[in-house]
Amino acid sequence: MSHPTSPLSLEQAASILKSGGLVGLPTETVYGLGANALDPVAVAKIFAAKERPFFDPLIVHIPDIDWVPRVARVFPPLAHKLAQHFWPGPLTLVLPKSDIIPDLVTSGLPGVGVRIPAHDMTRQVMRLADIPVAAPSANPFGKLSPTTAEHVFHQLGDRVDAILDGGPCRIGIESTVLRVDDDRVTLLRYGGISLEEIEDLIGPIDRLVDQTSHAPAAAPGMLTSHYAPRTPLIIADDLSAEVGSGPVGLLTLQGDGDLSRFSQVEVLSPSGDLVTAAANFFQALHRLDRLNLRLIVARRFPETGLGRALNDRLKRAAHQEPVITGP
Ligand code: TXA
Ligand code: MG
């Protein structure tokens, strides 16, 4: 098999997947760690490579909407409407799984998460291999998500058979996850499609994602600590908070305020655009995490549009650290 960093053709990527190997694959959200979704042994290798617990289900990727019946038993009209509107794109629909999907993929749940990624290379690889591809984000479990092929190489290079370099991810945060049961839609994870966009299309939906006490069983994988840099991270509403001595980095939407106390500042979008901020988010965190800072201070995003998904990622990145609020 080819070395993970050597250039890889789409045919080679397809053939590695078909023979049960692991391939780092580009998508518009984050890079995925792909394996044949129909082969439990190949799927088990994903969990081993990521050191991911088996209770956290994997998303199954397909290249075209007419593949849905291959992986899902039912495709409710409401799900079809969402798929037509948002696919290919950063939306995962949890639908009743078909029998060919191994229980390992869904962690024993009756539903399977399905998504068509908006990346032509990865869709073409799936067509060539003629198999659906199970792919979590290509990072070790709980760590920062990868948005470049280089991030995948640094984090999992010795555990994958190949990495397909499709450039930096355009959206930069994971897909929004919705469960669809008949006429009822439930938000399981904030992501690249905003709540506003979804509700504009289908009206108000349930938000299991905000009810932390109920979330773990229905939306496993939504752990409190996740997407975390090695450097401790705190969330701040206000830059006047005391941060102590030593090198401190700042992650901020815009570059306003007194930034002189920070040894490194990552401004995600000078104009305050949340779509641009999402695209830069994980790359900026990876950069800060490599600087051996004592602390990363992350400014809370406005709780609107993709800001909700970004705040969700910050909360999980901050885990045990206290949340600083203004004076
Ligand atoms: O954008 C994305 O979604 C990326 C790219 C690679 O497609 N994938 C990704 O996968 O973020 P991962 O494994 O890091 O997150 C998948 C999450 C699970 O932790 C869980 O919260 C939810 O999606 N999920 C997946 N399948 C599910 C299922 N059958 N039922 C409920 N939730 C599910
Ligand atoms: Mg992940």
Ligand 1 atom nearest the C-alpha of 52 is 13
**Which of 111, 240, 87 is CA-nearest to residue 176?**
87
Residue in the structure block whose two tokens are 């290509």: 138
Instruction: State pLDDT tens for residues 18-50.
Output: 999 999 999 999 999 999 999 999 999 999 999
Contact 131, 18 (CB under 8 A): yes
Residue 74's pLDDT band, with cuts at 50, 70 and 90, is very high
Instruction: State pLDDT tens for residues 226-270.
Output: 778 999 999 999 888 777 788 999 999 999 998 999 999 999 999
Please report, rounded to a whole number, the percentage of residues in the chain having pLDDT higher than 70.
Answer: 91
Q: 53: which DSSP letter?
A: -
139 CA distance to ligand 1 middle (Å) = 13
136 CA distance to ligand 1 middle (Å) = 6
212: pLDDT strictly greater than 60: no
Contact 18, 163 (CB under 8 A): no
Contact 231, 288 (CB under 8 A): yes
214: pLDDT strictly greater than 70: no
95 forms bridges with which residues in the sheet? 112
96 forms bridges with which residues in the sheet? 111
Ion ligand 2 — residues with CB under 5 Å?
Answer: 137
Q: Which tokens sit at 98?
A: 């078909």
Give the integer Cα–Cα distance in Å for 268 and 302.
Answer: 13
Instruction: State pLDDT tens for residues 148-189.
Output: 999 999 999 999 999 999 999 999 999 999 999 988 999 999
246 CA distance to ligand 1 middle (Å) = 37
- Identify the residue whose C-alpha is closest to ligand 1 atom 32: 219
The finding on whether 222 has its CB within 6 A of some atom of ligand 1 is yes
Q: Per DSSP, which regions of 26-183 are E strands?
A: 32-36, 59-61, 91-96, 111-115, 133-134, 162-163, 176-181
The finding on whether 33 has its CB within 6 A of some atom of ligand 1 is no
Q: What is the pLDDT of residue 185?
A: 97
- Mean of pLDDT values over 120-140: 97
Instruction: State pLDDT tens for residues 7-17.
Output: 899 999 999 99
**Which of 158, 164, 160, 211 is CA-nearest to residue 188?**
211
Ligand 1 atom nearest the C-alpha of 90 is 1
Q: What is the pLDDT of residue 54?
A: 87
User: In this structure, what is the dihedral angle of CA atoms 92, 105, 170, 203, given to the nearest 10 degrees?
Assistant: 10
Contact 2, 24 (CB under 8 A): no
Q: 135: which DSSP letter?
A: -
Sheet hosting strand 264-267, strand order edge to edge: 233-236, 295-299, 248-252, 264-267
Give the integer Cα–Cα distance in Å for 87 and 270.
Answer: 30
Ligand closest in space to the Cα of 170: 1
The finding on whether 113 has its CB within 6 A of some atom of ligand 1 is yes
Give the integer Cα–Cα distance in Å for 90 and 81.
Answer: 15
**Which domains, ranges and CATH numbers included, belong to the chain?**
10-207 (3.90.870.10), 233-317 (3.40.50.11030)
Phi, psi (rounded to 5 degrees) for 21? -90, 175
162 forms bridges with which residues in the sheet? 23
The finding on whether 103 has its CB within 6 A of some atom of ligand 1 is no
Contact 257, 149 (CB under 8 A): no
297 CA distance to ligand 1 middle (Å) = 27
- Mean of pLDDT values over 131-159: 96
Q: Considering the chain, what is the average pLDDT of its residues? A: 91
217: pLDDT strictly greater than 60: no
Q: What is the pLDDT of residue 102?
A: 96
Of residues 287 and 1, more confidence is placed in 287
123: pLDDT strictly greater than 80: yes
Ligand closest in space to the Cα of 116: 1
pTM, whole model, 2 decimals? 0.90
Q: What is the pLDDT of residue 4?
A: 65
Q: Which tokens sit at 10?
A: 């789409």
1: pLDDT strictly greater than 50: no
